Amino acid sequence: MNVVRVSRASLLATLLENREKHEREYTVARKGWLAKLSDAASSLVSATSDESGLYAGTATAKEFVDRARTRVAALAPPRHHLDAYERAIRMAEMSQDEVVELDAGSFDRLVMDNWEWKQQFASTTAAYTS
C-alpha cells in the first residue's frame, strides 16, 4: 500500500500527541544537558586550584585550556524539532478536507513519528537522560 486515507481529525490528534511527547523528551534532555554542563564547568573550576585535577600532567596552561574546551564542547546540546510538528499540525488544522491522503513517507513521519532526524534526536537525548 503506497497511499492511505486518514481522517483529518485522527491525523491531527496523532500529531498533537507526537508533538507533546517530543517536547517532553526534549525538556528532560535539556535539563540533563544543563546539569552535565554545570558539572563540567564546576570540575574545571576546581581543577584550576587542585594540583591533582585536570591541570596536573599538562605541560602548559594552554594545554589545560584546550582540554577544558574539548570537554565542554563534547556536550552537544539537544535540539528540538517542534517546528516540524507545528507545520504539520497547522496544515491539518487548515485543511478543508475531512479525509487526507498520505503517501508512505508522510505516514511514516506524521503518524508513526519516524522523522529523518529521529535517530539523531534519540541518541542525543539518551546521552542526557540515562
How confident is the model at residue 99, as a pLDDT?
98
* Helix ranges restricted to H, the chain: 8-48, 61-73, 82-94, 104-110, 118-129
Segment 19-30 shows an average pLDDT of: 98
Alpha-carbon distance 65 to 77, whole Å?
21
Select from 19, 1, 3 the least CA-distant residue to 106.
Answer: 3
CA–CA distance from 59 to each of 41, 53, 66, 72 (Å)? 21, 13, 12, 20
pTM: 0.82
Segment 42-48 shows an average pLDDT of: 67
Instruction: Classify each residue of 104-119 as buried b or exposed e, where b means 16 or more C-beta atoms within 10 Å of its C-beta.
Output: eeebebbbebebeeee
Does the pLDDT value for residue 50 go beyond 90? no
Contacts of 19 (CB under 8 A, 6+ apart): 82, 85, 86, 89
The 10s digit of each residue's pLDDT in 54-112 is 555 555 666 766 777 777 778 889 999 999 999 999 999 999 999 999 999 999 999 99
C-alpha cell of residue 37 = 554542563
Does the pLDDT value for residue 48 go beyond 70? no
Alpha-carbon distance 48 to 61, whole Å?
10
